[in-house]
Chain A
C-alpha cells in the first residue's frame, strides 16, 4: 500500500491519496497507514538526502519530500509512506505509483528526489532486516547455550546426588 499526503493549502486539513487515487483524509485504510507513519516519525532517526528525509520502521518507509518554495508562502512537504514489503519486492513498480499518488493530491515532485528517497528507504529497510536477523540469531544461540549449560549442570547435580546420597544416608 502506498499513501501520500500533504497539508492542504487552501483549507484546513490534509490532501491525501492511496495507491494513486485521491481519498478523504478520514478514510480508514489511509488512517491506518498514516498512524504507522506518525509513530515512525516520532520514534525513528531521520536519514537526509538531497530533497528530503527518510525514516523506516513498523513495516513502512516514510519519505518526506521538501517542495520548492512558492514565493514567500511556506509550502507543505509531501509525505510518502510505502509498506516496506512492497518496496523490497519491486521498487520499479512502486515509483510510478508514488508519482501518480503525488499527482493525485495536486503536487509535483522532482523525480530524482523521489527516486533517491525510495532508494535510501530500501537500503535502510534491508539494513534493519539484516540487523534484526543477526540479533535473532545471536539470541537463539545464547538461548541454546544457556539450555545446554542448565542441562549439563542438572546432570552434574544428579550425578553428585546419586553418588553421595547413598553414602550419607548410610
Chain B
C-alpha cells in the first residue's frame, strides 16, 4: 500500500522544488529587489515613476491600494545595476505594515522615504511616525544584520525648507543628526541619508544622483 505513495511523494517534492527554483531564478534575473516604504503622500510613487520614466508624473494621485511595481536600471559608479520594485505600496498607517514587512524581508534594499522638511522643523507628529517606522524596521531586521536589507533614508520635500535652498549639505547634516534618525543609524550601523525634492524633473534627478552615490 505504501509503494504507490512513493511516486506521488516524489512528484510533489519535484513540483515544490521546481517552483522554488523558478522563483529563485526569477528573483535573480529581475534584479536587486527594492522595497520603497514611507508614510502616505511622501513621494514613494513619484520616486518610482521618475526611476522608471525619467520624469516626475504630470498628475499625481495618492496610492490607495498596492499597485504593480516597476523595474529600472541605475548607473552606480559607471556600472549599470538592475533594480526591481515588486509593488508600489501605500503608506496607510498600520494597515500597510503586513505588506511592508513582507517587502522588507524579501528586499536587498529598503528605501525609506520621509518628509525631510517636517523632520527638520521638529514636527512632533512626523518625528513620532518616523520613530515608529524605524523601530519596526529594527524588529524586522534579522539578528545577523548583514543578511538583512540595506536601509537608505530618503528625505523629500526638502525644497520647502529655506536652509536646503541655501545649503543642501548643511540641511542634510541637520536632518541626519535629528534624534530618531541618529539613534536608528547607531542601531543599524551604516544607514545613508539623502535629501532632496521630487517637485521637478531637475530636482528629482539631483535626488536620484545622490541616491546613486550611496548605493554602492
Contacts and interface: CB of A to CB of B under 8 A. Distances in A.
Interface of A: 5-7, 12-14, 25-26, 34, 37-38, 41-42, 64, 66, 69, 74-77, 79
Nearest to A62: B65
A66 B93 contact: no
Given A7-B40, A66-B61, A74-B61, A38 B93 contact: no
Q: For chain B, which range describes its interface: under 10, 10 to 19, 20 to 34, or 35 or more residues?
A: 20 to 34
B66 A42 contact: yes
Interface in B85-105: 87, 90-95
Q: Interface majority SS on B: helix, strand, loop or mixed?
A: loop
A79 B65 CA distance: 9
Interface string B53-75: 00000011111111110000000
Contacts of A5: 64
B65 A12 contact: no
A66 B41 CA distance: 16
B65 A38 contact: yes
Interface of B: 39-41, 59-68, 87, 90-95, 129
A110 to B, nearest CB: 16
Contacts of B94: 13, 26
Contacts, number: 58
A74 B129 contact: no
Given A38-B66, A42-B68, A42-B87, A75 B92 contact: no
Contact of B129 (A12, A42, A69): A12
Contacts of A14: 64, 92-93, 95
Contacts of B60: 74
Nearest to A11: B93
B61 A75 contact: yes
Contact of A37 (B61, B65, B67, B129): B65
A15 to B, nearest CB: 10
A25 B95 contact: yes
B215 to A, nearest CB: 27
Contacts of A74: 41, 59-62
A103 to B, nearest CB: 18
Given A7-B92, A42-B87, A12 B64 contact: no
Contacts of B64: 5-7, 14, 64, 76-77, 79
A2 to B, nearest CB: 16
Given A5-B64, A42-B68, A74-B60, A13 B95 contact: yes
A77 B61 CA distance: 7
Contact of A12 (B59, B61, B68, B91): B91
A34 B65 CA distance: 9
Nearest to B68: A42
Contacts of B67: 41-42
A-B complex: 7 closest residue pairs judged by Cβ atoms: A13-B93, A76-B62, A7-B62, A12-B93, A41-B65, A38-B65, A74-B60
